[in-house]
């Protein structure tokens, strides 16, 4: 309770500081948001109006620039330094915050009449056919704005989440995971949904069983990767792109893992090798059952896969022939099998 009270007290202080900073920003102290009216620019051959208050520089910010903005804002409140590996935010919180940003932009993955109207207003009256022909350029324009807004929103966030750092995938995301998600803001929600579903399915298929180094653990990692690839399929047009994102994010997860104090480095490396291996088994399975679909000529191609239940059943069958290993070197002997360390 004392910890919660201290956090709430600090949160009140941070809120007050944010109000002051927001006022300063409105006075023109922000170095990027200087425009006071919409500016027509050329973006990859298309005429487009920048939103009011944005400078064209926002469209060319790279990841390093965004990181600089984030830590600069955080330092104003004394909340975070660039040297810290802890981001103090959960995947759930990142999802909630990106949702608050995305509602201000068209959904280029599945265009509605409202989305088309917004795009036409921004892109100088572009007709509907040209929207579909140039959807990648249009998407990159909005993504640049979304990333900038997302970083601004994240930098002002203070978490009151008191979850244990030992909760699997419920703890604060690592720095590596955090920045991977920031650069791909539209993939935050499907990644979170896949994570939640993987945990749910593991509980269903292995009720009451420990999910660390066991067959349940192997199942969880495999279905997690398969579901990430499946869920981002609504935003990708190639199977390999879905697999690449699943690998990228889950690799970042493993890279950000911290070795428990009571575990040797050798044992920790063994544990991670098991996870990397089972992650790949899940991605390989997805790749073997996924397909692409294009319903109408003007609609983008999207990646499809069997239902969650079908995929979970298939991966559960793989646990029945999973191989128990006693060393890291043994894992390479079973390239097509799930592996586990203890019963």
143 with 220, same domain: the answer is no
Residue 334 or 159, more confident: 334
My answer on whether 123 and 234 are in the same domain is: no
Per-residue pLDDT reduced to its tens digit, 157-177: 876 554 444 344 445 799 999
Assess if residue 173 is contained within a domain.
Answer: no
> String of b and e for 80-96 (b: at least 16 CB within 10 Å)?
beeeeeebbbbbbbbbe
In a domain, 160, yes or no: no
Please tell me whether residues 138 and 193 are part of one structural domain: no
Q: Alpha-carbon torsion 302, 306, 309, 312, what sign?
A: negative
Co-location of 213 and 314 in the same domain: yes
Is residue 87 located within the same domain as residue 149? yes
State the pLDDT at residue 157.
86
Is pLDDT at 45 greater than 60 in this prediction?
yes
What sign does the CA torsion over 166, 226, 136, 128 have? Answer: negative
- For 91-143, write each residue's pLDDT tens digit: 999 999 999 999 999 999 989 999 999 999 999 999 999 999 999 999 999 99
Q: What percent of the chain has pLDDT over 70?
A: 83
Residue with tokens 């929600």: 189
Query: How far, in Å, CA of 78 to CA of 14, rounded?
Result: 9
In a domain, 163, yes or no: no
Residues 326 and 193 in one domain: yes
Residues 210 and 272 reside in one and the same domain: yes
In a domain, 176, yes or no: no
Together in a domain, 222 and 277: yes
pLDDT-derived band of residue 79, with 50, 70 and 90 as boundaries? low
CA torsion 186→84→167→268, rounded to 10°?
A: 110
For range 201-209, the mean pLDDT: 95
Question: How does DSSP classify residue 36?
Answer: S
Integer Cα distance of 102 and 137 in angstroms: 18
Contact present, 228 and 250 (Cβ < 8 Å)? yes
Helix (H) or strand (E) holding 142: helix 135-155
| Mean of pLDDT over the chain | 86
Range of the domain at 36: 24-155
**How far apart (Å, rounded) are the C-alpha atoms in residues 129 and 296?**
13
- The pLDDT value recorded for residue 288 is 98
Widest pairwise Cα distance in the chain: 65
Indicate whether 10 belongs to any domain. no
Q: Are residues 318 and 227 in the same domain?
A: yes
Q: Are 340 and 324 in contact (CB under 8 A)?
A: yes
Cβ–Cβ < 8 Å for 304, 292: yes
For 292-324, the pLDDT digits (tens) are 998 777 778 899 999 999 999 999 999 999 999
333: pLDDT strictly greater than 60: yes
- The count of C-alpha atoms lying within 13 angstroms of the C-alpha of 311, restricted to the half-sphere facing its C-beta, is 32
Q: Locate 248 and state its tokens.
A: 């990228």
CA 90 → CA 57, 81, 215, distances in Å? 30, 18, 26
Same domain for 202 and 334: yes
Q: What is the pLDDT of residue 76?
A: 79
Does the residue 119 lie in any domain?
yes
In this structure, of 16-30, 50-64, 241-255, the range with the lowest mean pLDDT score is 16-30
Together in a domain, 216 and 309: yes
Q: How many CA atoms lie within 13 A of 100 on its CB side?
A: 12
Quick one: 144 and 219 in the same domain? no
Place of tokens 């959960």: 90
* Bridging pattern class, strands 40-43 and 302-304: unpaired
Cα 215 from Cα 219, distance rounded (Å) = 6
Q: Is residue 42 part of a domain?
A: yes
Question: Region 34-42: what's the mean pLDDT?
Answer: 75
* Res. 2: pLDDT tops 50: no
Query: How many structural domains does the chain have?
Result: 2
Q: Can you give 265-276 as a three-state secondary structure string?
A: HHHHHHHHHHHH
**What is the pLDDT, as a whole number, of residue 11?**
39
pTM of the model: 0.86
Identify whether 132 is part of a domain: yes
């Amino acid at each position: 309770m004392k910890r919660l009270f201290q956090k709430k007290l600090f949160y009140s202080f941070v809120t007050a500081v944010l109000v002051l900073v927001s006022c300063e920003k409105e006075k023109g102290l922000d170095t990027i948001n200087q425009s006071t009216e919409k500016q027509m620019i050329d973006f990859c051959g298309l005429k487009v109006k920048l939103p009011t208050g944005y400078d064209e520089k926002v469209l060319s910010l790279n990841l390093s620039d965004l990181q600089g903005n984030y830590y600069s804002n955080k330092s104003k409140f004394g909340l975070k330094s660039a040297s810290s590996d802890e981001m103090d935010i959960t995947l759930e919180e990142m999802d909630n915050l990106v949702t608050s940003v995305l509602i201000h932009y068209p959904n280029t993955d599945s265009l509605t009449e409202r989305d088309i109207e917004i795009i036409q207003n921004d892109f100088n009256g572009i007709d509907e056919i040209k929207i579909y022909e140039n959807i990648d350029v249009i998407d990159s324009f909005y993504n640049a704005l979304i990333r900038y807004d997302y970083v601004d929103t994240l930098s002002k966030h203070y978490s009151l989440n008191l979850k244990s750092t030992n909760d699997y995938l419920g703890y604060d995301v690592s720095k590596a995971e955090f920045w991977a998600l920031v650069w791909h803001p539209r993939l935050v929600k499907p990644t979170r949904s896949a994570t939640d579903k993987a945990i749910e399915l593991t509980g269903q298929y292995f009720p009451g069983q420990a999910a660390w180094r066991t067959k349940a653990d192997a199942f969880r990692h495999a279905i997690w990767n398969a579901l990430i690839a499946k869920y981002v399929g609504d935003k990708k047009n190639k199977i390999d792109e879905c697999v690449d994102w699943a690998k990228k994010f889950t690799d970042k997860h493993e890279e950000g893992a911290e070795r428990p104090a009571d575990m040797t480095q050798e044992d920790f490396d063994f544990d991670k090798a098991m996870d990397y291996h089972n992650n790949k088994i899940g991605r390989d399975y997805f790749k073997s059952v996924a397909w692409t679909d294009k319903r109408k000529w003007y609609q983008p191609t999207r990646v499809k896969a069997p239902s969650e239940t079908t995929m979970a059943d298939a991966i559960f069958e793989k646990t029945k022939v999973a191989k128990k290993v006693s060393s890291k070197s043994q894992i390479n002997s079973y390239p097509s099998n799930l592996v586990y360390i203890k019963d």
